[in-house]
């Protein structure tokens, strides 16, 4: 979704499609100008907007994780009785956060469905009673804040082409956005990161996982789906793969997708290499080409030319 507007009501209603608790208050309509872009990535949403106006805003998301950064020289952010560093991103799972600025701001945000995020983390850790909650509104460090900003820039780049279907990339992007975000902020996910992984079921589990990958690599699956189909946690599956194959499930899934791309080229794929890369879950054609050459000793374009002979 992309649009520009001077209509305050339209802007607020758009915000509330993603964060129902969000409000814009004390907006000067004479100075108001709004430029919005957003993308839905399965159950997560990526938002970026530029807002030229004097603004007071508030959010207290229910059933969501909201992560936000306000880039404005005069921004002020407050949670409860605490003033936050307005130059850094913040996260909330319900705690009210108020923000204000007097001239204009560029705002970046990620919104996750809390129940979906919690279920994914339970599958990753194998902890069936894990309850996801935010323990600190601010980032762990300035470096964590920088990495989160890089994540948002990456999502902006990948989701930029209007009308493009993310295809099988959507599942990996959603997972990457969630794990990267939780790594940047304090949550109850932390205490489960260092628990020993499940270490049972290696040979049969690995065979089951490889069969699932072969059958479903063309679909928007992640390593979490592979683990669930193999009746083990993601961390347990990673250990099993390392022990049995000296590789990760993600590497196996990546290779299966490269095999699928090569098979399409051999069958006479008539689209562009960029289209083929995106179809098989690679957001950058150059990275796809490098991975293809490393796997098969030739480039995708060379393979395509050979198939047309």
Cα distances (angstroms) measured from residue 144 to each of 133, 166, 230, 275: 18, 27, 33, 33
Give the fold, CATH level 3, of 194-308: Arc Repressor Mutant, subunit A (1.10.10)
pLDDT of residue 159: 84
pLDDT of residue 219: 95
Look up residue 59 and give its DSSP letter: E
DSSP 282-299: -S-HHHHHHHHHHHHSS-
Q: Alpha carbon 235 to chain centroid distance?
A: 19
pLDDT of residue 197: 58
pLDDT of residue 196: 60
Look up residue 197 and give its DSSP letter: P
Domain boundaries, the chain: 2-182, 194-308
Look up residue 272 and give its DSSP letter: -
CA gap 167, 219 in Å, rounded: 8
DSSP 75-116: -EEEETTEEE-TTS-EEESSS-EEEEESSEEEEEEEEEEHHH
pLDDT of residue 167: 85
- Evaluate whether the domain defined by 2-182 bears CATH number 2.60.120.10: yes
Query: Helices (H) and strands (E) in the chain — how many of each?
Result: 12, 13
Q: pLDDT 10s digit of each residue in the chain, 309 long?
A: 888 888 878 888 888 888 888 887 777 777 778 888 999 999 999 999 888 877 888 988 889 999 999 999 999 999 988 899 999 999 999 999 999 988 889 999 999 999 999 999 999 888 888 999 999 999 999 999 999 999 999 999 888 655 457 889 999 999 999 999 999 999 988 777 656 655 555 688 999 999 999 999 999 999 999 999 999 999 999 999 999 999 999 999 999 999 999 999 999 888 899 999 999 999 889 999 999 999 999 999 999 888 877
pLDDT of residue 161: 58
CA gap 13, 309 in Å, rounded: 56
pLDDT of residue 194: 59
Cβ neighbours for 275, distance < 8 A, ≥ 6 positions apart: none
pTM: 0.86
pLDDT of residue 126: 85
Cβ neighbours for 294, distance < 8 A, ≥ 6 positions apart: none
**Angle 168-173-175 (CA atoms, 0-180°, nearest 5)?**
110
CA gap 111, 88 in Å, rounded: 17
**25 phi, psi to nearest 5 deg:** -125, 150
């Amino acid at each position: 979704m992309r649009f520009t507007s001077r209509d305050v009501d339209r802007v607020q209603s758009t915000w509330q499609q993603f964060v129902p608790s969000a409000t814009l208050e004390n907006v000067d309509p004479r100075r108001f100008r709004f430029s919005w872009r957003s993308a839905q990535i399965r159950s997560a949403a990526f938002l970026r907007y530029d807002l030229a106006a004097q603004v007071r805003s508030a959010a207290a998301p229910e059933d969501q994780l909201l992560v936000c950064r306000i880039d404005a020289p005069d921004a002020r952010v407050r949670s409860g009785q605490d003033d936050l560093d307005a130059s850094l991103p913040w996260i909330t799972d319900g705690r009210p956060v108020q923000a204000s600025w007097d001239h204009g701001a560029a705002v970046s945000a990620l919104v996750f469905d809390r129940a979906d995020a919690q279920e994914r983390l339970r599958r990753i850790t194998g902890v069936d009673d894990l309850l996801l909650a935010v323990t600190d509104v601010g980032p762990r460090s300035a470096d964590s804040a920088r990495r989160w900003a890089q994540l948002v820039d990456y999502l902006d780049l990948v989701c930029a082409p209007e009308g493009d279907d993310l295809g099988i990339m959507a599942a990996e992007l959603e997972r990457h956005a969630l794990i990267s975000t939780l790594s940047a902020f304090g949550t109850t996910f932390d205490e489960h990161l260092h628990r020993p992984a499940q270490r049972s079921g290696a040979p049969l589990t690995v065979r089951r996982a490889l069969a699932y990958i072969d059958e479903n690599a063309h679909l928007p699956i992640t390593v979490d789906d592979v683990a669930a189909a193999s009746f083990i946690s993601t961390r347990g599956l990673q250990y099993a793969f390392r022990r049995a194959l000296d590789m990760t499930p993600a590497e196996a899934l990546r290779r299966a997708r490269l095999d699928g791309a090569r098979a399409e080229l051999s069958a006479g794929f008539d689209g562009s290499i960029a289209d083929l890369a995106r179809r098989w879950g690679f957001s950058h054609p150059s990275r796809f080409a490098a991975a293809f050459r490393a796997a098969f000793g030739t480039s995708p374009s060379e393979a395509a030319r050979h198939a047309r002979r």
